[in-house]
Amino acid sequence: AQKITQTQPGMFVQEKEAVTLDCTYDTSDPSYGLFWYKQPSSGEMIFLIYQGSYDQQNATEGRYSLNFQKARKSANLVISASQLGDSAMYFCAMREGYSGGYQKVTFGTGTKLQVIP
Amino acid sequence: DAEITQSPRHKITETGRQVTLACHQTWNHNNMFWYRQDLGHGLRLIHYSYGVQDTNKGEVSDGYSVSRSNTEDLPLTLESAASSQTSVYFCASSERGRTDTQYFGPGTRLTVL
């Protein structure tokens, strides 16, 4: 089974509108972390936001928020007031486990977001 | 400012040659990682290190090796390059903490002919 599933290979959003990028995960580890990264066409990977499995509140960073629904094992990224510069690939990732210091991070296959003027 | 750099940024090599990709970070992070990125696969972990002299295999480690002789560097070596190793390679580092956020280098595009 896929550890991280991003079901939307591509999405369009109108400039200034909000958009939700879906991510579901699969783990039996009670302690884990969820991340979102942005990869613009230039290729670098940019960290956006983090959510810990024990965090009570949804993480927010500026226009980015993470809609964390633990029971449904989903960690959707919400971008408010989309800007043209938000056009990029977005990757969801999960960090599992600290057994013996082991830190396994698994990435999804990404969602390509295009913002339309 | 602290950063993580990779060199070269682009490399073309021939099948069977040994290739080494450099990764250098000035964050003073203990943890370093190598990933490859291929269309349809996202990022897949090749090797990782939690400190000097520590190295571990990731999910796609065959044909790759790493060594960690200091905190700052984790070079990735392809012992005998194969066309299947044509990819974009990312190095990342993190400091163990609450978030363990990994910070990525700019990537190296490797083509094996």
pLDDT at A101 exceeding the cut of 70: no
pLDDT bracket for residue A1 (50, 70, 90): low
pLDDT for A19 equals 97
- CB contact under 8 Å between B33 and A105, yes or no, is yes
Which chain B residues touch A35 with a CB distance below 8 Å? 101-102
CA A97 to CA A68: how far, in whole Å?
A: 19
pLDDT for B2 equals 77
- A97–B contact, CB cutoff 8 A: no
Task: Note down pLDDT in tens along chain B; length 113 residues.
Answer: 779 999 999 999 999 999 999 999 999 999 999 999 998 778 999 999 989 999 999 989 999 999 999 999 999 999 999 999 999 999 999 987 767 788 999 999 999 99
Give the DSSP letter of residue A70.
T
One-letter identity of residue A66: L
- Judge contact between A107 and A96, C-beta under 8 A: no
* Segment A81-88 mean pLDDT: 97
Strand ranges for chain B from DSSP E = 4-7, 10-13, 19-25, 31-38, 42-51, 54-57, 64-66, 76-78, 87-94, 103-104, 108-112
* Segment A10-28 mean pLDDT: 96
Exposed, middle or buried: residue B104 (CB in 10 Å: 0-12, 13-18, 19+)?
A: buried
pLDDT for B39 equals 83
Residue B28 region by backbone torsions, left for phi larger than 0, else alpha for psi between -120 and 50, else beta: left
In the predicted model, what is the mean pLDDT of chain A? 92
pLDDT for B26 equals 94
- Of the residues A29, A107, A111, A112, the best mutation for testing chain B's interface (the one with the most B CB atoms within 10 Å of its CB) is A107
Give the DSSP letter of residue B73.
B
- A2–B contact, CB cutoff 8 A: no
The length of chain A, given as a count of residues: 117
pLDDT at A18 exceeding the cut of 90: yes
E strand or H helix at A4: strand A4-5
Percentage of chain A exceeding pLDDT 70: 93
pLDDT bracket for residue A51 (50, 70, 90): very high
- What residues does B21 pair with on adjacent strands? B76
For CA atoms A65, A71, A72, A73, give the dihedral sign.
Answer: positive
Task: Determine how β-strand A88-96 pairs with β-strand A111-116.
Answer: antiparallel
pLDDT at A27 exceeding the cut of 80: yes
| Closest-CA residue to A90 (of A2, A1, A27, A7) | A7
- Of the residues A61, A103, A104, A111, the best mutation for testing chain B's interface (the one with the most B CB atoms within 10 Å of its CB) is A103
- A45–B contact, CB cutoff 8 A: yes
Neighbours of A20 (CB within 10 A): 14
